[in-house]
Amino acid sequence: MGPSGGNRSEIRRKEYFHCCLLPLLGRWISVFGKIKREVHFPPSLPPLLAQWPGQKRIGSHRFFHRTPRRFLRWLWLGLCLRTRLRKDLRHHEPRRTSRHFESSALNTTQIRDILATHGLRPLRQLGQNFLAEPALATVIAHALPKSTQEPVQEIGPGLGALTRALLTIGHTVEAFEIDQGLISWLRQSLQNEPRFQLIEGDALKTLPHHPPRSLVCGNLPYSISTPLLVQLALRSPPPATVVVTLQKEVADRYAALPRTSDYGAVSVLLQSVFQIEKIRQLPPEVFYPRPQVDSVVLRLNRHHETPTNLEPFYAFVKKGFSQRRKKLKSLLPVNLDRRAEELNPTEWRTLYESTRREI
């Protein structure tokens, strides 16, 4: 008969104890045969352990060479030294000032603590997903060209992860935020930073009332990404560089090629003004809370020759895409037997200019 239930539980506890403790005693025990010396194992270990190299005698309950008292004495001394060293390092650690932005960047745990302490929560209606990877904030900040001439306009700073990265590399930041709770947090945490200016309100409404800047960045929610980028493209002049983080599906539409389902009027407008480049794809794990989709860091660099009359041109293109399956000659005053999705941005511009001359 096999062992009873109580004996079986006791044997399992002993096996678990020894199997968990053995890897921690690498100085005295050679499980993988790296140290060829005599090692004693208790008889309760599984047969597989007994067959591993370096095991010559089995049957003794003594599983290390040195006595337990001596081992515990050395272990206690090591723990005391480690604790003392940590205290000394903390004592000599320099105080964090406004220049230590990289070291104070936020991770997921810190974001949760800040939200809980200040009674804040991510608002789904605003599409708030805070960047929880400090290294990625630095990557996004470096995607903008270095310029000290004018501020960078940041849309939706959130808890300030990208803001701190921009300030660290020397930028001046104009941040547009609509959430009153986050506005209070940003004013408190960055109150001693003279290169930071916070503008309250909806960026779609407040941005046109401020001087246009050549550098724009932000983590854009789905609800405002297209209206905001269209507004920036129609600005006179458009920004020189725009770096935004948005949903991958939206970024695919902006960079879509002709004769694809994602290609549309917004694709034509943005590609007529900017050269679109996908810098990096971000998984949901780098945000808090986690979104349901992947995100993309997109960089839009303005073309050297920027077209004029963009608002009527965009209205012209939208009318051509209003019914995708119809030929353009039935939608626009043109004699062209092609569909809207078959023309690239340059052909759309040529078609628009020829129509204007005829009118």
Report if residue 99 sits inside a domain.
no
Q: Residue type for 227, please? A: P
Same domain, 135 and 230: yes
Same domain, 67 and 182: no
Chain CA centroid to CA 215, Å: 20
Report if residue 310 sits inside a domain.
no
Sequence-distant (6+) residues with CB within 8 A of 53 are 32, 33
Nearest to 310 by CA among 357, 262, 345, 258: 345
The pLDDT value given to residue 118:
85
Say if residue 53's pLDDT is above 50: no
Mean pLDDT check: name the lowest of 3-12, 68-77, 86-95, 129-138.
86-95
Same domain, 71 and 163: no
The mean per-residue pLDDT over the stretch 181-203 comes to: 94
Same domain, 268 and 236: yes
pLDDT digits (tens, 9 = 90+) for 228-243: 999 999 998 999 999 9
Q: In this structure, are residues 164 and 102 in contact, taking their beta carbons and an 8 Å threshold?
A: yes
> Average per-residue pLDDT in the chain?
80
Report if residue 133 sits inside a domain.
yes
Q: Number of C-alpha atoms within 13 angstroms, CB side, residue 20?
A: 6
Total domains, the chain: 3
> Coil, strand, or helix at residue 133?
coil
Q: In this structure, are residues 213 and 153 in contact, taking their beta carbons and an 8 Å threshold?
A: yes
Report if residue 79 sits inside a domain.
yes
The pLDDT value given to residue 309:
82
Mean pLDDT check: name the lowest of 24-28, 150-154, 167-171, 332-336.
24-28
The pLDDT value given to residue 338:
95
Q: In CATH, what number is assigned to the domain containing residue 285?
A: 3.40.50.150
Residue 127: pLDDT band (50, 70, 90) is: confident
Say if residue 155's pLDDT is above 60: yes
pLDDT digits (tens, 9 = 90+) for 209-219: 999 999 999 99
Same domain, 125 and 269: yes
Report if residue 153 sits inside a domain.
yes
Mean pLDDT check: name the lowest of 40-54, 299-313, 333-347.
40-54
Same domain, 142 and 289: yes
Say if residue 277's pLDDT is above 70: yes
Same domain, 146 and 268: yes
Report if residue 167 sits inside a domain.
yes
Which domain covers residue 350, as residue numbers? 316-358
Same domain, 246 and 152: yes
Same domain, 127 and 48: no
Same domain, 126 and 250: yes
Report if residue 98 sits inside a domain.
no
Which of 49, 64, 93 is a domain's end point?
Answer: 93
Same domain, 128 and 81: no
Same domain, 218 and 347: no
Give the torsion through C-alpha atoms of 264, 267, 271, 274, to 10 deg.
Answer: 160
Higher pLDDT, 60 or 229: 229
Residue 125: pLDDT band (50, 70, 90) is: confident
Cα angle: 358, vertex 235, 230; to 5 degrees: 85
Say if residue 293's pLDDT is above 90: yes
Report if residue 100 sits inside a domain.
no
Question: Which ranges of the chain would DSSP assign to H, the alpha helix?
Answer: 5-21, 47-50, 68-92, 108-117, 134-142, 161-168, 180-189, 203-206, 222-234, 248-254, 265-273, 310-320, 345-358
Name the pTM for this structure.
0.70
Q: In this structure, are residues 44 and 60 in contact, taking their beta carbons and an 8 Å threshold?
A: no
Say whether the peptide bond before residue 122 is cis (omega within 30 degrees of 0): no
